[in-house]
Structures are given as C-alpha cells and as structure tokens.
C-alpha cells in the first residue's frame, strides 16, 4: 500500500473528465508541509478553476463532494483559496499498521509492471588502484539495484570492467622493462602495482616536462596583460574603474592558480631529476608514452606474447578489486569487461557504415549527430576502436541477451557528453524503445575543496579509506558501549566486528545521503557522527530499539503474533505511524530519478525524527497499561524493521548492539 498512490487513484476518476492530461493534476496531491493542514494536501483546484470556469473554492468543494475517500480520510476540508486538506482516519492507519506488521515486505507493494533493468556500475579500470571516485559508482549502483529488486523488477547488475585499455599497455611495458622476477614470483600483485607506479611515474614526468613551458607561457601572458592594465592607470569614470578592478582581480587569481600549478609541476619534475637513478631511468625510457601505446596496440591486434601476459595479469587485477567488493558486500550478476566485446567492434563499425550512419572524416570513421559540435568517432585513422565503439557493442549485446527495458550507467559526470552521444547514436542505430540513462554523480572533495587526495598527492586508495573509516568507527562504538544505559557489554573482539559494519556503513551512507549530482566534502567526523543524518545515527537508533526489548525482556517475535495491536492514542504515535507507512512513497521517489538520497532523507527526516519525538513523549516499558505497552512495543518494532529494510536497500547492515 502506498498512501499517495491510493489518494491519487481516488481522485483520478473525478478529475479525469475535467482535463486532457490528468497526471500533472494528480502530481499536485502531496504530503502536507505542516501537520496543521492535515496529512496530505491537494492543490489542483486553483489551476483547474479557470479552465472549467468556476471559482477555485467552489470547484474544490465540488471535487470533495464527488471523491470517494470515506474509508480512508476524515471529511476533507477546503481551505484558503481552494486547497483541499486531507487527514487520514486513525482507524484506517491502524488497519494499515496491522497489515504492514504482518507483512515481510512491511506493506510495500511490488511495482505493477516488472521491468528488466541493466545497471552498469562500479566498472573500474583494473590494473590501476581503485580510488574514492569508484566508491560512489559502486554504492549508488548497488543501492539502485537493491531498490529495483525489492520493488519486483528484474535488475541485472553488470560490472563493465575497464580491462582492455592503455593501463595494460603500461603494465606490459613495465613488466618487460622493470619487473623483478623473484618479487613477481613471490607476490605478483604488489609487484604489478609497483610496476604500474614506475611506469605511471615516468609518464607523469614526461607529461610534466611538456606541461611546464605551456603553463609558464600562460603565466607570462597573464602577467603582461596585468601589467598593461596597471600601466593604463585607473580610469576616471567610476564604473570603468570598478570594471578594471574586477578584471585585475580575475587576472590575479588566474596567476595565483597558474603559479601553484607551476610549482606542483616543478615538484613532480624535481622528484625525478633530483635522483640520479630516476633521471637515468627517464633518459633510457624517453619514448615511454609511444612505447606503451604500441604495447596496447599489439595486445589488441592479438600479439601472442602480450595476449599471454594480459591473460596472466588479469586474474590478479580482478582479485584486487574483489577484496574491496567483499568488504563493501557488493556483488554483481555479471562482470563483462571491455575485452569481452573486442571481437564485436569491427562488425559494429561495419553496421554503422552499411546503414549510412557513419562517415569517413580525416581518415577516421565518425557518426555525426544532431545537436553536437563534434562527431562520435568509432574508429580512429590508425584503425583502433574506441571507448564509444565498445559501449555500442555492449548495448547491442545487452539487447540481444536480456532485452532490457532500461540501461542505467552509474558513472562520473565528466562522461556526460560521452553518454549523450552514445545514446543519440544508439537511437540512430534503431534501438529507440529503451530507456537509456546516465545516472551521473559529482566529485568527492577534500577539506581544501579540491578532489580528495592523500597528503602525498595521490588520489586516495579505496582500501586505505575503508581501513581508516573502520578504525575511527571503533572509537565511536567503544564510546557508545561505555555510555550504554545498561553498562558496557561488548568485548574488544565484538567491538572490532561491529566497527567493520559501522565504518563501512558510514562511508556508504555518507555518499548515498548526498544529492548524487553534487560534489561533496569527504569527512570521517561528519559521516561517523552519532547525531544527524548518518548511518551511525540510524544504526544506533536501530540498536536502541533492540535494547528496549532486551531491557524489558520482551520476546518481540512472540508479541508480533500474539494478536496484540497497535492503537494510536498520542499525536507522536500517530506521526510515527504515518512515517512508517510512507516507506513505499520514499522508494517510489528513489526510483523516479534513481536518487538514493530520497531514501536517506526519508529515514532521517521522517522515520528517525518521528521516532525520536515518540520516544521522548511516550513511555514504552513504563506505559500506563499492558495494552498500551504492547502497542508501543509493536510500533517500535515496526519502526526498527522499516529502518533495517531501508538500510538494507542502501547496502547497509544493522547491528543489534553498539
Ligand atoms: N571504466 C570506465 C571508467 O573508469 C567506466 C565505465 C562505465 N561504463 C560504461 N559502460 N561506459 O571511467
């Protein structure tokens, strides 16, 4: 049962004859912002009145007289210019609580039509370390998949690994030139990461060498502009003077940024040049960028040695990421990486050519798309295929294999243009009956407002991040246990075990509670806070409910089936009951635009807050009568179950004690 959907269904037959398009009117039935105005509010009368030539209040009264709501609501009230205020009947709320409480799905119905979704998420480029950006895709994608499945959809997760790109050219080149055979034999993974870092370091060095004069030239240019402006003197006209000042400020800040970039670039260069060993190595591998590219090309052309090395390295790379997935408790139905599509690429390009959808341009094969300045290149002039070609082949494969209704790509916003073009090309290709959606997300920032990095300047590795969150969670868990009303009950081993759950949860929830399209500032303290919109607070709330049962020696499973009922007496009970019943609405909101933060908002703003008011104002274990006590225990239990189910859909576990 979904209250909002139910109300809309009741109003629909009344509104339908008055309009060509009833959906936007039904959308104007919403939860009331203020309990003063009831539980839900309908605001369509004002807009509709003009069209039907009546006063909004009269129209509202007419609609209220016609709509069938008796079983569900008190008599609706027409307020102000024509708002319709709806208040749910307590008896109806109680009935709904009864059925929610007896239902493992907590009263949430499955979607009317089950659809097939492919959710493409995580998808890191293997052979390089996973970093904090990957956590966003992984946890957002996992939450979306879980929610789709819970709503009865067929959600197929596919980890589209980058397992065929230049990074393999890098480790192949590195292996051929820098590998320590004994070290590799003893422990291949650390040796492969070392090799990757060596090659990365050399490539960065040459990039920095190339970049430095460009930055310096830019700085010189800005400096000249700045000096010229100063030399011109301050204009007499006030407005002009203001404009000049603003321009000087703009130039100055550009110069500051450039100076910082130059210093960082010089530091990178110095790191190599200050070490005789590193300098000599750089001298010996001066054409490394080209050489790495050649190794990649050879791999793609099926060169025996490179292919054998790739086959040897890939499982190690996969093991690396598997460890992270295990800790995050994320699984995939499929893990079909880019390499899987290699043999299909030539055919895809041929198809585009045959259908007249692709043209030759400067030697490259291009798909020209309306509304885009640059075409989408699907084959380079040297014959190489691209990321786009692979993505086209992937769509074709997915259509053939699963016939999905939708494909969701949970990927960084920087790939927005890639997906816009990909989707446009896919439509041209003839797949027009499918929802293609880039579920885009922003950057994780550090305290300095720049992309999150460690002190050494490397982007933060995912495992280090998890370790840190868990070790900080240990302190939170220990403090909470020490302060527990029944006194500390956890030994160190148990605390450690709980910390793993709490630490990982904090990280996930910290991410999921953000508007996915915004950048957000990463902060361990914020995400592990015991107060506020955090996993820690939610897990604590859940554990507190369990502790009520323990302290009251309540066997909640028995009480659930004892015939005891939830009876609403206090306003705080009523508020909490409605919050519990609105779980289903929150899930609809999540899936409307694939935004898990609608679920975290619901859990915090509605469920947890109403629970906390209820807990302050209503005695549970010391209730006035045994009936009242049982009713309140059941309401606590239902709250905890919704909390647990909600967190589960976010990929977060609860703990019984903390
Ligand atoms: N491997 C890519 C990256 O790390 C993301 C792939 C996303 N999925 C896709 N089908 N393009 O940037």
pLDDT band at 34 (very low <50, low <70, confident <90, very high): confident
Question: In this structure, what DSSP letter does residue 76 have?
Answer: P
457 assigned to some structural domain: no
520 with 558, same domain?
Answer: yes
Q: What is d(CA 220, CA 224) in angstroms, rounded to the nearest whole number?
A: 6
Q: pLDDT at residue 64 above 80? A: yes
The pLDDT, as a whole number, for residue 51 is 87
489 with 579, same domain?
Answer: yes
544 with 587, same domain?
Answer: yes
Percent of the chain with pLDDT over 70: 99
Q: What pLDDT, in 10s, does the model give residues 213-244?
A: 999 999 999 999 999 999 988 888 999 999 99
Domain range for 245: 167-306
Collapsed DSSP state (helix, strand, coil) of residue 657: coil
User: Which residue matches tokens 């490179």?
Assistant: 306
450 assigned to some structural domain: no
On average, the pLDDT of the chain sits at 94
User: Which residue matches tokens 């086209």?
Assistant: 392
CA of 320 to the centre of ligand 1 (A): 18
Atom of ligand 1 lying closest to residue 419 CA: 11
Atom of ligand 1 lying closest to residue 134 CA: 4
Number of domain units in the chain: 4
Q: Which of 420, 445, 470 corresponds to the end of one domain?
A: 445
CA of 441 to the centre of ligand 1 (A): 13
CA of 423 to the centre of ligand 1 (A): 15
Q: What pLDDT, in 10s, does the model give residues 585-598?
A: 999 999 999 999 99
List Cα–Cα distances, 27 to 43, 49, 117, in angstroms. Answer: 9, 17, 25
Q: What is d(CA 431, CA 398) in angstroms, rounded to the nearest whole number?
A: 12
181 with 271, same domain?
Answer: yes
315 assigned to some structural domain: no
The pLDDT, as a whole number, for residue 131 is 81
CA of 353 to the centre of ligand 1 (A): 25
440 with 467, same domain?
Answer: no
Cα radius of gyration rounded to whole Å, the chain: 30
The pLDDT, as a whole number, for residue 455 is 56
Q: pLDDT at residue 456 above 60? A: no
Q: Which of 408, 415, 443 to mutate to test the pocket of ligand 1 (most atoms within 8 A of CB)?
A: 415
First-to-final CA distance of the chain: 33
175 with 269, same domain?
Answer: yes
Widest distance between CA atoms in the chain = 89
What value does the mean pLDDT take over residues 132-153?
95
CATH number of the domain residue 549 falls in: 1.10.730.10
For residues 504 and 469, the answer to whether their CB atoms sit within 8 Å is yes
630 with 498, same domain?
Answer: yes
Atom of ligand 1 lying closest to residue 162 CA: 1
CATH number of the domain residue 73 falls in: 3.30.1360.70
Burial class (CB within 10 angstroms; exposed 0-12, middle 13-18, buried 19+) of 142: buried
Retrieve residue 336's tokens: 């079909």
CATH number of the domain residue 355 falls in: 3.40.50.620
List Cα–Cα distances, 117 to 178, 316, 389, in angstroms. Answer: 44, 30, 22
Retrieve residue 194's tokens: 């070392």
552 assigned to some structural domain: yes
Q: pLDDT at residue 459 above 80? A: no
For residues 391 and 407, the answer to whether their CB atoms sit within 8 Å is no
Q: Which of 306, 334, 359 corresponds to the end of one domain?
A: 306
User: Which residue matches tokens 């204009």?
Assistant: 235
345 with 373, same domain?
Answer: yes
For residues 388 and 422, the answer to whether their CB atoms sit within 8 Å is yes
The pLDDT, as a whole number, for residue 462 is 83
Calculate the dihedral angle through the C-alpha atoms of 243, 244, 248, 251, rounding to the nearest 10 degrees: 70
Report the 3 state secondary structure along 263-302: HHHHHHHHHHHCCHHHHHHHHHCCCHHHHHHHHHHHHHCC
The pLDDT, as a whole number, for residue 457 is 56
Q: What is d(CA 541, CA 85) in angstroms, rounded to the nearest whole number?
A: 32
108 assigned to some structural domain: no
Burial class (CB within 10 angstroms; exposed 0-12, middle 13-18, buried 19+) of 171: buried
Chain Cα centroid distance, residue 560: 36
The pLDDT, as a whole number, for residue 463 is 86
Q: What is d(CA 651, CA 143) in angstroms, rounded to the nearest whole number?
A: 6
pLDDT band at 130 (very low <50, low <70, confident <90, very high): confident
CA of 298 to the centre of ligand 1 (A): 22
pLDDT band at 634 (very low <50, low <70, confident <90, very high): very high
42 assigned to some structural domain: yes
What is the DSSP track for 507-566? HHHHHHTS-TTS-EE--HHHHT-SSSSSHHHHHHHHHHHHHHHHHTT--HHHHHTTT---
What value does the mean pLDDT take over residues 78-91?
96
pLDDT band at 332 (very low <50, low <70, confident <90, very high): very high
425 with 503, same domain?
Answer: no
Q: Which of 122, 128, 136, 162 to mutate to test the pocket of ligand 1 (most atoms within 8 A of CB)?
A: 162
Residue nearest to atom 4 of ligand 1 (CA): 124
188 assigned to some structural domain: yes
368 with 431, same domain?
Answer: yes
Q: Does an H or E element contain 613, and which?
A: helix 609-617
Q: What pLDDT, in 10s, does the model give residues 265-319?
A: 999 999 999 999 999 999 999 999 999 999 999 999 999 999 999 999 999 999 9
Q: What pLDDT, in 10s, does the model give residues 363-392?
A: 999 999 999 999 999 999 989 999 999 999
Chain Cα centroid distance, residue 501: 19
What is the DSSP track for 359-387? EEETTEEEE--TT-SSPEEEE-TTS-B-H
List Cα–Cα distances, 301 to 151, 304, 313, 343, in angstroms. Answer: 45, 9, 18, 11
Q: What is d(CA 161, CA 390) in angstroms, rounded to the nearest whole number?
A: 12
CA of 160 to the centre of ligand 1 (A): 6
What value does the mean pLDDT take over residues 624-649?
98
**pTM, full prediction:** 0.91
Backbone angles phi, psi at 55, to 5 degrees: -80, 145
543 with 561, same domain?
Answer: yes
The pLDDT, as a whole number, for residue 129 is 78
Q: What is d(CA 653, CA 538) in angstroms, rounded to the nearest whole number?
A: 10
Q: What is d(CA 651, CA 649) in angstroms, rounded to the nearest whole number?
A: 5
25 assigned to some structural domain: yes
Residue nearest to atom 11 of ligand 1 (CA): 391
pLDDT band at 2 (very low <50, low <70, confident <90, very high): very high
Q: Which of 411, 413, 420 to mutate to test the pocket of ligand 1 (most atoms within 8 A of CB)?
A: 411
User: Which residue matches tokens 């700085």?
Assistant: 219
Binding-site residues, ligand 1, Cβ < 6 A: 120, 123-125, 160, 162, 391, 394, 409, 411
159 with 172, same domain?
Answer: no
Q: What is d(CA 186, CA 173) in angstroms, rounded to the nearest whole number?
A: 20
Q: Which of 88, 108, 137 corresponds to the end of one domain?
A: 88
Q: What is d(CA 186, CA 180) in angstroms, rounded to the nearest whole number?
A: 10
Residue nearest to atom 6 of ligand 1 (CA): 123
Q: What is d(CA 307, CA 301) in angstroms, rounded to the nearest whole number?
A: 9
The pLDDT, as a whole number, for residue 89 is 97
């Amino acid at each position: 049962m979904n209250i909002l959907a139910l109300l809309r269904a009741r109003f629909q037959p009344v509104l339908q004859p008055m309009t060509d398009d009833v959906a936007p009117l039904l959308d104007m039935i919403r939860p009331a912002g203020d309990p003063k105005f009831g539980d839900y509010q309908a605001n369509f009368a004002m807009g509709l009145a003009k069209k039907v030539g009546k006063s909004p209040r009269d129209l509202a009264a007419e609609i209220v007289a016609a709509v069938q709501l008796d079983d569900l609501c008190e008599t609706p009230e027409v307020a102000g210019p024509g708002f319709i205020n709806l208040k749910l009947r307590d008896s109806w709320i109680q009935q709904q609580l009864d059925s929610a409480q007896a239902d493992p799905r907590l009263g949430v119905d499955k979607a009317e039509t089950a659809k097939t979704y492919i959710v493409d998420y995580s998808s890191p480029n293997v052979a390089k370390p996973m970093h904090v950006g990957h956590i966003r895709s992984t946890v957002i994608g996992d939450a979306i998949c879980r929610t789709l499945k819970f709503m009865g959809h067929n959600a197929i997760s596919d980890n589209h690994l980058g397992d065929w790109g230049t990074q393999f050219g890098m480790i192949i080149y590195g292996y051929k030139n820098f590998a320590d055979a004994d070290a590799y034999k003893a422990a291949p993974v650390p040796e492969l990461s070392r090799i990757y870092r060596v090659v990365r370091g050399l490539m960065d060095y040459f990039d920095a060498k190339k970049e430095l004069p460009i930055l310096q030239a830019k700085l010189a240019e800005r400096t000249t502009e700045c000096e010229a402006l100063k030399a011109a003197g301050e204009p007499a006209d006030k407005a002009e003077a203001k404009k000049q000042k603003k321009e000087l400020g703009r130039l100055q800040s550009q110069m500051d940024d450039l100076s910082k970039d130059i210093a960082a670039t010089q530091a990178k260069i110095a790191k190599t040049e200050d070490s005789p060993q590193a300098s000599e190595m750089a001298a010996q591998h001066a054409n490394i960028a080209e050489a790495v590219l050649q190794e990649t090309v050879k791999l793609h052309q099926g060169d025996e040695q490179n292919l054998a090395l790739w086959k040897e390295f890939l499982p190690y790379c996969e093991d690396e990421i598997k460890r992270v997935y295990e800790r995050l408790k994320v699984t995939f139905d499929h893990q079909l990486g880019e390499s899987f599509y290699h043999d299909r690429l030539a055919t895809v390009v041929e198809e585009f050519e045959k259908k007249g959808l692709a043209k030759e341009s400067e030697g490259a094969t291009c798909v020209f798309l309306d509304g885009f300045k640059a075409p989408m290149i699907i084959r380079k002039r040297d014959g190489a295929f691209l990321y786009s070609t692979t993505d086209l082949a992937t769509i074709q494969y997915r259509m053939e294999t699963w016939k999905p209704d939708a494909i969701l790509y949970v990927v960084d916003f920087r790939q927005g243009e890639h997906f816009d073009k990909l989707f446009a090309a896919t439509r041209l290709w003839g797949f027009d009956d499918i929802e293609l959606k880039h579920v885009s997300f922003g950057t994780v920032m550090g305290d300095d407002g720049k992309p999150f990095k460690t002190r050494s300047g490397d982007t933060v590795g995912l495992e280090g991040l998890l370790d840190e969150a868990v070790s900080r969670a240990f302190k939170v868990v220990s403090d909470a246990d020490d302060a527990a009303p029944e006194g500390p009950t956890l030994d160190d081993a148990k605390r450690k075990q709980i910390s793993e759950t709490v630490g990982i949860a904090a990280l996930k929830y910290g991410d999921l509670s953000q508007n996915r399209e915004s950048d957000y500032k990463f902060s361990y303290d914020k995400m592990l806070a015991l107060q506020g919109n955090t996993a820690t607070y939610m897990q604590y709330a859940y554990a507190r409910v369990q502790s009520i049962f323990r302290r009251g020696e309540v066997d909640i499973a028995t009480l659930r089936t004892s015939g005891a009922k939830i009876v609403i007496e206090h306003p705080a009970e009523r508020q909490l009951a409605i919050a519990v019943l609105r779980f289903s609405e929150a899930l609809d909101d999540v899936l409307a635009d694939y935004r898990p933060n609608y679920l975290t908002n619901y859990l915090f703003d509605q469920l947890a807050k109403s629970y906390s008011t209820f807990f302050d104002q209503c005695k549970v274990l010391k209730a006035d009568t045994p009936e009242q006590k049982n009713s309140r225990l059941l309401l606590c239990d239902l709250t905890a179950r919704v909390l647990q189910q909600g967190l589960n859909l976010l990929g977060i576990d609860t703990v019984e004690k903390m």
